[in-house]
Amino acid sequence: MYGDVRGHLPGAAAPAHTDVVPDTTPTAAPTAVASAAFAVPAETVWAYRLDFANLPEYNPDVQDVARVADGTGDAAAGVHGPGARYTFGLADPRRPGVHQPIELWTVEAVAPTLVAAGMSGGSEAYEEFVVEPLDDGGCSATLTLWVTLPDGLSEEVVAAATAGSLQSISKELRLMKQVLEGAD
């Protein structure tokens, strides 16, 4: 069903990931998983996600994205491929008007099915964006996020962080769909 990236899909939900930012798929259960169907080709969705300069278009909490290092990907990924690094400000929901500095880097890019990235800043995270081409010319995309949380947090805080992560990535997919499909 997912070709070579099948191993990148998460297992059942469990406690949030609490290790350092990995450079491969974490073995711990993901913090959040969201999916969406797109009416545009997989190549379009993959290329759009791969260029993180697009991030403010589908995440209104992000500002001032800059690619600070080019990737060394193949012709399909180009400067956005593995090794590409971006910096940006991410709104801090606890402090209105304050943006935390974030660095994001592309870990892996497989056209047109996978974009994997690591992030550090307000918290450490790793994500995989898996795109599955569909027979009708559209595609399905799944965004899986592992967030590193400090040890010793209460179950309530972990649950709130998990819920916030799911809300955030679900919103990203919804807004990405609107941008790419030209919908309101």
The answer on pLDDT for 15 being more than 50 is no
The model's confidence at residue 19, banded by pLDDT at 50, 70 and 90, is very low
Residue 66's domain spans which residues?
A: 16-181
Do the domain assignments include residue 3?
A: no
Q: Which pLDDT score, from 0 to 100, does residue 174 have? A: 97
107 within some domain: yes
What percentage of the chain reaches a pLDDT higher than 70?
85
d(CA 139, CA 113): 10
**Which pLDDT score, from 0 to 100, does residue 12 have?**
34
Domain membership of residue 22 (yes or no) is yes
First to last CA, the chain: 31
Q: Give the pLDDT band of residue 42 (cuts 50, 70, 90).
A: very high
Q: Which CATH number belongs to the domain containing residue 103 in this structure?
A: 3.30.530.20
**Is residue 2 one of the residues assigned to a domain?**
no
Tell me how far apart the alpha carbons of residues 172 and 62 are, in angstroms, rounded to a whole number: 11
| Dihedral sign computed on CA atoms, order 20, 27, 115, 18 | negative
The angle subtended at Cα 115 by Cα 113 and Cα 8, nearest 5°, is 70
54 belongs to a structural domain? yes
Interval 113-169: pLDDT, tens = 999 999 998 788 999 999 999 999 999 999 999 998 888 999 999 999 999 999 999
User: Considering its fold, how many domains does the chain have in total?
Assistant: 1
Between these two residues, 184 and 24, which has the higher pLDDT value? 24
pTM, two decimal places: 0.85
Residue 4 falls within a domain, yes or no?
no
